Amino acid sequence: MTESRDRWPSKTIFIFAAIGSAVGLGNIWRFPYLVGKYGGGAFLFPYLLLLFLFGIPLLILEFSLGQKMQQGAVGAMKRIRKSFSGIGLGAICCSFFVACYYAVVMAWCLLYCFYSVNIAWGDDPSTFFFENVLQSSSSPNEMWMIPTHVLAALVFVWVCVYFCIWKGVRSVSAVVTITMPLPVILLIILLIRGVTLPGAMDGLIYYVKPDFQALLNTEVWMAALTQIFFSLSVGFGVMIAYGSYEKKTSDIVKSAYIIAVSDAAIAILSGLVVFSTLGHMALQSGESLAKLAASGPSLAFIVFPKALSLIPGAAFFSVFFFLTLLLLGIDSLFSLVEAISTTLHDQWSFIRKEDLTLYVCTFSFIGGLIFTTTAGIYFLDISDHFITIYGIVTVSLLQSFVIGWGYPAGKLCEWINQVSVWKLSKWWSFAIRYFVPICLIVLLFTALYRDVTVPYGGYPKWAIIMMGWSTISLMIFLGLVYSFITTRKKSTNPFHVDDKSYD
């Protein structure tokens, strides 16, 4: 099976595809609003520190798993021990849930590309976004219906995604040569426009000036960590799948550093674009920068469109901005689908990959319909919160725990060093065995305590249970059942290393 496996045509394409997955809406929309919300430049400190302490070790872990086992998330875990296969399934469930809502945000970006042509949001982008685009109800309790323009945009997004990946690694390789570098060029153009605006300097100073008081807040560290997981696409099985299309002898460590550092650099660059433009807006409108910067998730669709409408050449730069978002998002979205279809194809290789991809796109489209309803934005917020905290953190915790202790990490580290140009030190095994699991357990329990005592976002209980707790419970249930079934199938010993040929 390994012989006939698809391969990346070159190392550069592999790196492009992985950066394409990592760099997405999270960099240009999530990262800048977190910086604004959590202490400006002070957020960069935990972000960069945790990137090196957690993000890169976990990225190396996922690449090495995929590359060594030559399988997607489920198959790779299964090859270590059958009882671990449920962890891979958990990762795939995270990919599926995120793909469902990520595509909806992409659909909004697509609509905004058209609205930008005549700055359709006018003077009131907030009313335009909630009432005209989303036709949002005032609470999740209210009647649901689906606005047809959002539905049509979502269909279009999924059709594009399907055609980007229908030929697997071959079509992905062709697409990422455009979708990876082009948005970076667009971002640079937007940056040049941004920094040459009056008031830009104030915005940039706000962005880089640290408020060290914020570092004492545990929430800041949690936000930095979940942002790193979301942004590096770890805990979703994506990097395992992408690693599995590399030759077994390919370098891992250097590639992981290049990918992680590029991802952080693009996030920081996006922050420069956003804050320089917000600085101009603050000057024009007289609103405080702190208030604009801390506008939260509405940044991309409310505050930023307003800021863009105030600059000369507004329509042109607005189209540019939403096109950049679309291009950044598309390779992240199809990487989620690739993670799922790779795993399915590993298990059922008799079904054509194209067909599996079509089924995954169709199911994700159907799953995403709930986020297009008039109450969709509330559900999206709840799902994002629960999946990024409990889903990916749990998967990453289990992954590092079982590789650290079950494989064990030292053995994998030796193998990584055999194939890599840059060598790992003992720190990596230590991080995977102790540091990462312990910190993630603390993070998980802190978050659990907070969410159990105070309902997230003040939403009604039924909505939190339906979109949050039950999604996570379903994921855990499926993982456990799958592990149980796979363990029972051939061997009754759950501690049996299944495939020695992969040692």
* Binding residues vs ligand PFF (CB under 6 A): 21-22, 24-27, 95, 98, 230-231, 233, 236, 238, 332, 335-336
Write down the least CB distance from residue 105 to ligand PFF, Å: 9
Write down the least CB distance from residue 477 to ligand PFF, Å: 22
**Beta carbon nearer to ligand PFF, 278 or 336:** 336
**Beta carbon nearer to ligand PFF, 230 or 401:** 230
Write down the least CB distance from residue 188 to ligand PFF, Å: 19
Write down the least CB distance from residue 315 to ligand PFF, Å: 26
**Beta carbon nearer to ligand PFF, 191 or 330:** 330
Write down the least CB distance from residue 266 to ligand PFF, Å: 9
Neighbours of 209 (CB within 10 A): 11
Separation CA 357–CA 338 (nearest Å) = 8
Residues 6+ apart with CB under 8 A from 427: none
**Beta carbon nearer to ligand PFF, 128 or 230:** 230
Write down the least CB distance from residue 291 to ligand PFF, Å: 25
**Beta carbon nearer to ligand PFF, 236 or 371:** 236
**Beta carbon nearer to ligand PFF, 19 or 303:** 19
**Beta carbon nearer to ligand PFF, 292 or 336:** 336
Neighbours of 24 (CB within 10 A): 29
Amino acid at 53: L
Write down the least CB distance from residue 223 to ligand PFF, Å: 14
Separation CA 496–CA 491 (nearest Å) = 8
Write down the least CB distance from residue 263 to ligand PFF, Å: 8
Write down the least CB distance from residue 329 to ligand PFF, Å: 7
Task: Fill in the DSSP letter of residue 424.
Answer: P
The b/e string for 372-402 (b: 16+ C-beta within 10 A; e otherwise) is: bbbbbbbbbbbbbbbbbbbbbbbbbbbbbbb
Q: Is the dihedral of CA 222, 225, 228, 231 positive or negative?
A: negative
Separation CA 379–CA 373 (nearest Å) = 9
Ramachandran angles phi, psi of 40, nearest 5°: 55, -130
**Beta carbon nearer to ligand PFF, 169 or 424:** 169
Q: Which two tokens stand for residue 444?
A: 């998980």
Q: Is the dihedral of CA 327, 369, 73, 2 positive or negative?
A: negative
Ramachandran angles phi, psi of 249, nearest 5°: -95, 10
Instruction: Work out the end-to-end distance of the chain between its first and last CA atoms, rounded to an integer number of angstroms.
Output: 17
Bridge partners (DSSP) listed for residue 40: 210
Write down the least CB distance from residue 99 to ligand PFF, Å: 8
**Beta carbon nearer to ligand PFF, 30 or 82:** 30
Would you say 14 and 257 are in contact if contact means Cβ atoms under 8 Å apart? Answer: no
Task: Fill in the DSSP letter of residue 72.
Answer: -
**Beta carbon nearer to ligand PFF, 22 or 432:** 22
**Beta carbon nearer to ligand PFF, 227 or 276:** 227
Alpha carbon of 339 to those of 262, 449, 457: distances in Å? 21, 31, 30
Report the candidate in 331, 48, 324, 326 with the shortest Cα–Cα distance to residue 194.
324
Q: Which two tokens stand for residue 473?
A: 């419970």
Q: Angle, to 10 degrees, between the axis of helix 181-195 and the axis of helix 253-285?
A: 30
Write down the least CB distance from residue 23 to ligand PFF, Å: 6
Bridge partners (DSSP) listed for residue 497: 81
